[in-house]
């Protein structure tokens, strides 16, 4: 099992860096090229949600992202320190039948999670008062590293 960990300040500019790192490691782990866009978007959504939550609740705290090559799966876990609740997760499971009514102009965090659920092969969302953890994974080469 190979793991890469990254922590970053809750600044929107760093989300792109996190996306690029995740995509590069996914490629190296052997995730199919056709899935890399989904990895990039899902990781970006998880990190954007975390940045927005930290800016509201704890702007000085870093956000952590773990990227793991685990028995033929590429697994990404994004962990924040902002309090969240079950309601947010419930909203994520809804389709937005009338987004014009439901959405404010700015990002609604449940909207981002709904996108992740639609993109990742396997997603678990763990909300808590100490922060939210989003774990997602995609199939990868069973022998770990793809050719360099």
Both structure tokens of 50: 């975390």
Residue with smaller CB distance to other proteins, 2 or 90: 90
Instruction: Restricting to residues 23-42, name those near other proteins by CB under 8 A.
Output: 37, 40-41
**148/44 Cα distance (integer angstroms):** 25
Binds other proteins (CB under 8 A): choice among 12, 90, 124, 130: 12
Walk across the sheet containing 63-70 and list its strands: 2-8, 63-70, 73-79, 133-139, 122-126
Q: Which of 148, 121, 143 is CA-nearest to residue 34?
A: 121
**54/57 Cα distance (integer angstroms):** 5
Binds other proteins (CB under 8 A): choice among 51, 76, 125, 134: 51
- Residue carrying structure tokens 């782990």: 29
Residue with smaller CB distance to other proteins, 40 or 133: 40
Binds other proteins (CB under 8 A): choice among 1, 33, 60, 100: 100
Residue with smaller CB distance to other proteins, 118 or 139: 118
Q: Give the H/E segment covering residue 131.
A: none
In 3-state terms, what secondary structure has residue 124? Answer: strand
Q: Does 136 bind other proteins (CB under 8 A)?
A: no
Q: List contacts with other proteins (CB under 8 A).
A: 12-13, 15-16, 19, 37, 40-41, 44-45, 48, 51-52, 95-97, 99-100, 103-108, 111-112, 114-115, 118-119
């Amino acid at each position: 099992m190979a793991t890469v960990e990254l922590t970053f300040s809750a600044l929107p500019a760093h989300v792109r860096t996190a996306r690029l790192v995740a995509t590069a490691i996914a490629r190296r782990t052997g995730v199919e090229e056709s899935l890399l866009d989904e990895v990039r978007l899902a990781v970006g959504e998880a990190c954007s949600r975390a940045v927005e939550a930290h800016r509201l609740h704890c702007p000085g705290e870093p956000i952590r992202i773990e990227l793991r090559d685990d028995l033929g799966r590429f697994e990404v876990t994004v962990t924040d320190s902002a309090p969240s609740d079950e309601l947010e997760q419930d909203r994520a499971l809804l389709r937005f039948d009338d987004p014009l009514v439901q959405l404010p102009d700015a990002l609604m965090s449940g909207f981002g999670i709904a996108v992740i659920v639609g993109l990742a092969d396997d997603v678990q969302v763990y909300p808590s008062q100490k922060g939210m953890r989003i774990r997602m994974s995609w199939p990868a080469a069973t022998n770990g590293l793809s050719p360099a």
